[in-house]
Amino acid sequence: MSDDPLLRVDDLSVHFGGNEGILDRLLGDDKGVVRAVDDVSLDIGENDVVALVGESGCGKTTLGKAMIGLQRPTSGTVSFRGQDIWKSDLEPGDIPYKEIRKSLQMVHQDAGNSLDPNRTIFKNLNPALKKWRPELNLVERRELVHQMLDTVGLTPADDYASRYPHQLSGGEAQRTVIVRSMLLEPDLILADEAVSALDVSLRVNLMDLLLELQEMFSTSFVFISHNMANARYLAGRADGRIAVMYLGRIVEIGPADEIIKNPQHPYTKSLLWATSGLSEINDPIETPPVRKIDIPDPENPPSGCRFHTRCPEAREYCASNTPDLSGMSGPSDRHEAACFDAHDRIDYRNSDPIADDFDIDVADDTEQPAD
Ligand code: SF4
């Protein structure tokens, strides 16, 4: 059996806009280019759970879409069980392209908009099933839809199957969209802010459902969230990892408990500080652990470590050198951080602290914790 992980992201970059011609790139003219994702590498195993966290605009959705074949990367590769998904349609490998596409599914945040309002729930779910599982006849497809509606708690299933989307609550619509993905028996589901639009109580129910489905069907999940509490709930209960993104890069990744209780990157610490229910875990402080509140322009990201313009630990060395994501010494060999301070780099220690005004007038605007 191959040692390849379910999904391997290798040096992946996705850039938008600007001068994208080959000559421009050769001349280094990348004015106006937004580096949504920059040199990201990440492995997702079989039956794995990863929560991708970061502020709005950090590139997490773009990375997620590139991982499942919905966004073409500018450079780098995404491999599904060892096969490059972006080459599979042109250069067929052992796994048919169609099989790869079916195996990588997405659940969107806005369930309401992803259902056709003029079709019943069955008619919303049937086309994908018909396309991707042609071996099933209509009776079998109907049976399967009912089974899955039942599994996610939309009972009586025949009643829900005949409803129209406007006859569903927000939580029911989101469950329906989850059913649509699960019907295809995917190996990996990208859930993009799948619970963000729901009330807190419904959110916890839906996260529990996702975890049940993940266990029941051994499906790997990548959960995208701007909320550290949700990430902890999902990744923590599934023995998964949290990956923290900042301006197109993963700056820290590790087991959920390690990231929450032993964060190493100053940006992770600032996210935890701003999350009710999590801020108290590690030496609570009153002021936010950042020098500046505003996120830099992604068209013109800071040199060196991209967090150096906001980082309270930044030194001159950080402004001109880029830290790699590398393993921390500690209880978990899966904990990595991209920070010179965390790795106690001598060049960093020997340089001067960056001293400028702290802008610390910030409000805690995060959502309520999931637990
Ligand atoms: S490398 Fe420097 S600027 Fe970046 S997070 Fe670490 S201490 Fe802060």
321 CA closest ligand 1 atom index: 1
The pLDDT of residue 113: 82
Whether residue 311 has its Cβ less than 6 Å from ligand 1: yes
SS3 call for 182: helix
Could you tell me if 225 and 193 are in contact, meaning their C-beta atoms sit under 8 angstroms apart? Answer: yes
pLDDT of residue 24: 56
Q: Would you identify the CATH topology of the domain 7-118+164-349?
A: Rossmann fold (3.40.50)
- Chain-centroid distance, C-alpha 314: 27
Q: Where are the domains of the chain?
A: 7-118+164-349
> Which of 249, 268, 307 for a ligand 1 pocket mutation test, highest count of atoms within 8 Å of Cβ?
307
CA 140, 142, 146, 152 dihedral sign is positive
As to burial, measured by CB atoms within 10 angstroms (0-12 exposed, 13-18 middle, 19+ buried), residue 360 is middle
Residue among 199, 201, 182, 181 at smallest CA distance from 114: 181
Q: What is the pLDDT along the chain (371 residues), one digit of tens a residue?
A: 568 999 999 999 999 986 555 555 545 556 678 889 999 999 999 999 999 999 988 999 999 999 999 999 999 999 999 999 988 666 767 888 888 999 999 998 777 788 999 999 999 999 999 998 899 999 999 999 999 999 999 999 999 999 999 999 988 999 999 999 999 999 999 999 888 777 777 888 889 999 999 999 999 999 999 999 999 999 999 999 999 999 999 999 999 999 999 999 999 999 999 887 777 776 667 777 888 878 888 888 999 999 999 999 999 999 999 999 999 877 777 899 999 999 999 999 999 999 765 555 444 444 443 33
Q: For 89, which DSSP code? A: T
Alpha carbon of 330 to ligand 1 centroid (Å): 19
Instruction: Count CB atoms within 10 A of the CB of residue 55.
Output: 15
Task: In whole angstroms, give the CA distance from residue 33 to residue 16.
Answer: 6
Residue 187 and residue 219 in contact, taking contact as beta carbons nearer than 8 Å: yes
Tokens of 249: 């890069």
